[in-house]
């Protein structure tokens, strides 16, 4: 590897890294995307089903990675399918990580400029964000995850408190009738849930950095369970508090939910501002996961040092973030990312697992 050989993380830290790689802008974009796709209150079932499918995919990725101790997908793919096909597939994964990183930092900028820093140039929000993330990555994976360990509990606490306080405007009728239009809308909403779980592909390089890779399945399932639970409660509270029709008219439904009520007597009577400030830190962690994945991939594929790659990645990620011309282009990019995640799974871990099983079976027969 071209990161430090002793840069290992515990099973708990691996879980947190996976949680942070999935838990990001989806909190802000998911309710609208899923409701637009499904058009019924039953889309909470889409989120649950999508999360269970992702868990199965993660087990496949972990099982494959465990066959190659201390090697990431960028290193073991060539062993399975040959250097040239592996080189192409790994570059697709790197481009995927860069695209998600650009998407996340652009969502951060759009939300910040709309709700907090109106009139501020977009570059003035995104460039410091990218630079600070790069500085954090200079310390290595272990140092990066230590910061994640501090931020994640605070983010979850603020999010949970905000949802609990929104119960005052929660209407159970907004979630009824259950399966009133059958299962078809649930499956329609399923395709939109792929984006919110995008990023779980980090499992393919994360297992190699674990101190105890034999515990990877348990750690990864725990890591994906947190965002699954958060996304599930997000769609429940947003639909219950706003209704389907209101969500369809909203650009950022989760924030609009928090703007729909005030809490007298608290230091913050309007919760969207403390929520956004805290969630910006969570978006930072989310973005850093993809920044690390793309940088690590380039470092290992091209066999160059890790730190210079971080510098090179900064302008590339910035350029990726400014490609969408407006908010509609940004949401369209989110849909592309979701479909790309499905295609990448069909191109990388699934065929790699099948080919490796066939080859290993052949080797046993020859022996």
pLDDT tens per residue, range 226-247: 999 999 999 999 998 888 888 8
> How many C-beta atoms surround the C-beta of residue 155 within 10 A?
22
Does 22 map to a domain?
yes
For 366, phi and psi rounded to 5 degrees?
A: -65, -35
Look up the CATH number of the domain holding residue 211: 1.20.1740.10
pTM of the model: 0.89
Asked if pLDDT for residue 299 goes beyond 90, the answer is yes
Please check whether residue 367 is in contact with residue 361, taking contact to mean a CB–CB distance below 8 angstroms. no
Q: Strand ranges (DSSP E) for 136-201?
A: none
Does 112 map to a domain?
yes
pLDDT top residue among 160 and 357: 160
Does 331 map to a domain?
yes
**In this predicted structure, what is the pLDDT of residue 367?**
46
**In this predicted structure, what is the pLDDT of residue 263?**
65
- Rg over CA atoms, the chain: 21
Q: Scan for tokens 């069909």, then name that residue.
A: 346
Does 5 map to a domain?
no
210 three-state secondary structure: strand
**In this predicted structure, what is the pLDDT of residue 356?**
77
Tens of pLDDT along 208-227?
999 999 999 999 999 999 99
Does 2 map to a domain?
no
What domain range includes position 125?
A: 11-366
Does 237 map to a domain?
yes
152 has which bridge partners? none
Compute the half-sphere exposure of residue 338: CA atoms within 13 Å on the CB side of its CA: 22
Report whether the peptide linkage leading into residue 20 is cis, meaning its omega lies within 30 degrees of zero: no
For residue 9, the 8-state DSSP code is B
The Cα–Cα gap between 290 and 23 comes to: 12
156 three-state secondary structure: helix
Mean pLDDT of 126-133: 92
Q: Scan for tokens 């990431």, then name that residue.
A: 72
Does 1 map to a domain?
no
Q: Scan for tokens 């360990």, then name that residue.
A: 149
Does 6 map to a domain?
no
Asked if pLDDT for residue 255 goes beyond 60, the answer is yes
**In this predicted structure, what is the pLDDT of residue 361?**
63
Tokens of 353: 């697992």
The residues near 107 (Cβ < 8 Å, ≥ 6 apart) are 25, 28, 29, 283, 330
For residue 198, the 8-state DSSP code is T
Nearest-CA neighbor of 51 among 183, 184, 234? 234
The Cα–Cα gap between 94 and 77 comes to: 14
Structural domains counted in the chain: 1
210 has which bridge partners? 9
Tokens of 193: 């849930």
Tens of pLDDT along 300-353?
999 999 999 999 999 999 999 999 888 888 888 877 877 787 777 777 777 788
């Amino acid at each position: 590897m071209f990161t430090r050989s002793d840069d290992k993380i515990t099973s708990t830290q691996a879980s947190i890294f996976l949680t942070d790689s999935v838990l990001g802008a989806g909190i802000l974009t998911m309710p609208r995307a899923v409701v637009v796709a499904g058009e019924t209150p039953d889309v909470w079932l889409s989120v649950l089903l999508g999360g269970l499918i992702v868990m199965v995919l993660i087990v496949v990725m972990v099982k494959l990675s465990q066959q190659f101790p201390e090697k990431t997908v960028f290193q073991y793919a060539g062993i399975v399918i040959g250097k040239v096909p592996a080189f192409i597939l790994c570059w697709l994964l790197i481009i995927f990580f860069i695209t998600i990183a650009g998407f996340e930092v652009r969502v951060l900028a759009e939300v910040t400029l709309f709700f907090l820093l109106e009139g501020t140039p977009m570059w003035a929000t995104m460039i410091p964000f990218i630079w600070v993330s790069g500085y954090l990555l200079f310390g290595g994976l272990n140092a990066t995850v230590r910061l994640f360990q501090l931020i994640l509990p605070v983010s979850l606490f603020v999010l949970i408190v905000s949802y609990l306080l929104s119960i005052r405007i929660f209407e159970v009728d907004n979630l009824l009738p259950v399966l009133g239009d059958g299962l078809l809308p649930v499956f329609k909403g399923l395709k939109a849930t792929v984006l919110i779980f995008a990023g779980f592909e980090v499992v393919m390089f994360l297992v190699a950095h674990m101190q105890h890779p034999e515990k990877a399945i348990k750690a990864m399932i725990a890591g994906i369970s947190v965002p699954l639970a958060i996304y599930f409660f997000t769609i429940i509270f947003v639909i219950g508090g706003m209704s389907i029709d209101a969500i369809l008219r909203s650009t950022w439904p989760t924030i609009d939910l928090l703007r729909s009520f005030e809490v007298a007597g608290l230091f913050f009577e309007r919760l969207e501002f403390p929520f956004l400030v805290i969630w910006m830190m969570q978006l930072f962690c989310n973005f850093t996961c993809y920044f690390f994945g793309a940088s690590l991939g380039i470092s290992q594929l091209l066999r160059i040092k890790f730190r210079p790659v971080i510098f090179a990645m900064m302008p590339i990620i910035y350029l990726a973030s400014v490609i969408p011309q407006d908010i509609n282009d940004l949401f369209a990019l989110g849909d592309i990312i979701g479909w790309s995640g499905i295609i990448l799974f069909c191109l990388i871990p699934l065929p790699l697992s099948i080919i490796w099983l066939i080859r290993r079976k052949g080797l046993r027969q020859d022996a």
